[in-house]
Amino acid sequence: MRSPVTGKVVLVTGASRGLGRATALEFAAAGAHVIVTARSTRGRSTQAALPQTSVEDTLEALRAGGGQGEAHACDHTDAAQVERLMLDLRARHGRLDVLINNAWGGHDPVNEAARGREVWEEPPEQLRNMLLGGAYSDALTTLLALRHFGGAVGQVLCTTWHTEEPPGWLPYEVSKAAKNRFVYVLGHQLSGHGIPVIGVAPGWMRTELMETHHTPQELDGQTETPHYAARGLVALAADPDSLRHSGQVLDVGELADLYGITDLDGSQPQWWRAHRSGRS
């Protein structure tokens, strides 16, 4: 049976590892032509402490599974690099059906020795990194895509996170709130053009970063793989009526309810929903 995303041109940013890599693989498996971007290339990783995966590795993996795609090195906080990317994609494909803003540089190293226990002792560059690598990256990539494709991008999906109550780490909370507001505002502004702008918030994913900072015991039984959210993104891209969700941030558990998606083991984790109810 032909998938609704077969033949679609899909751009996945930040695809060298984690959710971006899983998303690229899931879209490729569904028949899309997947363009993957990342700052981490072979021999030049942005996270030395993590497994040395690269954008080229993601491309090889999706092709090994029978998928089609291409890889580009790109820092999505750099306007010149994003401009070159969009010019190349327009020349090669003439259209962009799905843009997935997943790039995230917020956990780039900061001076840990400068961090204190009080909020005013937080290194200010941490918030800068998270705003640049989050909302700014999403906005820059989306607006340049719309400009170069004449406002005809099919769908804009942004990976994000629900802000917590009570709030958590200040730089992270502020950066995610900015991403979520970007989804809301741009969704409103593009409603007349029929372009859905939707945020997708995973639960606690077993990414390389999480596995580095948490023990197996901490992660056991309350986490999900990145493929769970990735399958939710594919389901949204396949939904002809996804405009009804525009401007919203949807939990992956909500997407599981809507579309029947499951994680790799067949489960439907509802970690964030349980987390929210436990704090209410």
Highest mean pLDDT among 119-128, 215-224, 252-261: 252-261
Helices and strands, number each (H, E), in the chain? 11, 7
Q: What is the pTM of this model?
A: 0.90
Measure the CA–CA gap between 47 and 107, rounded to whole angstroms.
9
The pLDDT of residue 279 is above 50 = no
- For residues 101 and 137, the answer to whether their CB atoms sit within 8 Å is yes
Task: Grade residue 74 by pLDDT with cuts at 50, 70 and 90.
Answer: very high
Instruction: Give the pair of three-digit tokens for residue 195.
Output: 């372009």
The pLDDT of residue 106 is above 90 = no
Instruction: Go through the domains of the chain in sequence order and give each one's CATH number.
Output: 9-279 (3.40.50.720)
In this prediction, residue 184 carries a pLDDT of 98
In this prediction, residue 10 carries a pLDDT of 98
In this prediction, residue 82 carries a pLDDT of 98
What is the pLDDT averaged over residues 155-166? 90
Residue of 259, 207, 205, 206 lying closest to 232 (CA atoms) = 259
Residues 6+ apart with CB under 8 A from 230: 19, 22, 23, 25, 26, 27
In this prediction, residue 269 carries a pLDDT of 85
What is the pLDDT averaged over residues 109-138? 82
- For residues 5 and 234, the answer to whether their CB atoms sit within 8 Å is yes
